[in-house]
Amino acid sequence: MKNGEFKIEKNKPMPASRSGKSKYPFAQMKVGDSFRVEGVMAAKVSRSMTTYGKLLKMKFSQRQEGEGYRIWRTK
């Protein structure tokens, strides 16, 4: 296919949504709880915190801790 050309397909089922599922334990956290992650870039952790914070109506904060990051539930 050339740039700008798309094949329209009918009756293709949409896969189940991943909303609400995270490899991080955001949903189980209470205010003041924290967890540590290593080997992950700050931007990736920040995106997850923002996405799941909005979804779960919670607030999170992160700080670098050695080679990794610690994430706290703040609200």
Domains of the chain, by residue range, sit at: 42-75
* Residue 13 confidence (pLDDT): 80
* Cβ-contact 50, 61 below 8 angstroms: no
Entry pTM? 0.69
CA distance 75 to 68: 22
Overall average pLDDT of the 35-63 stretch:
89
- pLDDT band for position 1 (cuts 50, 70, 90): low
Phi, psi at 51, each rounded to 5°: -60, -55
| Per-chain mean pLDDT for the chain | 85
Q: How many CB atoms lie within 10 A of CB 34?
A: 15
- Rg of the chain over Cα atoms, rounded to whole angstroms, equals 18
Widest distance between CA atoms in the chain: 52
